[in-house]
Amino acid sequence: MNPVELLMRQRNTKEFREADRFDVVFVRKAAPEKSPAGGYRPSSEPPTELECQPVRIVHNTRRYKNGLVNAESGDIPNTDYLLLGSHTLDVEVNDTFKWRGDNYKITGIHPFREESTLCSIEFDGPDNRHG
């Protein structure tokens, strides 16, 4: 890509992100540890909180929908969101973050973008542990 075009795309992405900016703190868990028996267990290291980074959360659908699926046990959130950040965004698959009081998880990162970082996110629900 032409360097001038790349610079312009990065500027456009920044202005789009800043129009509805959200500051996010990603939480990254350490890699699982191998047990003496040969299996894997969660790491004993505490999760790492990364520095606050500006992003924008956008709908992945062109048409508005209510975002709920009616199931036997009640309404289940079904939201299709993408996370858009700068090309220098420090994020990895399986990082988690909070948005509007709910937990989300990074499930994928678009590999072919140079002007920005585009991630698919999954709704993990509200905190279910108290105390």
CATH number at residue 23: 2.40.10
Residue 7 lies in a domain: yes
* Full domain range(s) for residue 65: 3-30+45-125
Residue 21 lies in a domain: yes
pLDDT of residue 78: 62
Please report, as a single letter, which amino acid is at residue 10: Q
Does pLDDT of 130 surpass 60? Answer: no
Report pTM: 0.76
Contacts of 71 (CB under 8 A, 6+ apart): none
Residue 13 lies in a domain: yes
The pLDDT > 90 percentage for the chain reads 43
> Across residues 24-34, what is the average pLDDT?
91
> Across residues 12-35, what is the average pLDDT?
91
Residue 63 lies in a domain: yes
* pLDDT, the chain, mean: 85
pLDDT of residue 43: 85
pLDDT tier at 26, thresholds 50, 70, 90: very high
* pLDDT tens digits, one per residue of 54-102: 999 988 766 666 656 677 777 666 667 889 999 999 999 999 999 888 8
Question: Domain total for the chain?
Answer: 1
Contacts of 8 (CB under 8 A, 6+ apart): none
Contacts of 83 (CB under 8 A, 6+ apart): 24, 55, 56, 57, 91, 106, 118, 119, 120, 121
Does pLDDT of 52 surpass 90? Answer: yes
Residue 19 lies in a domain: yes
Query: Which residue did the predictor score with more confidence, 33 or 27?
Result: 27
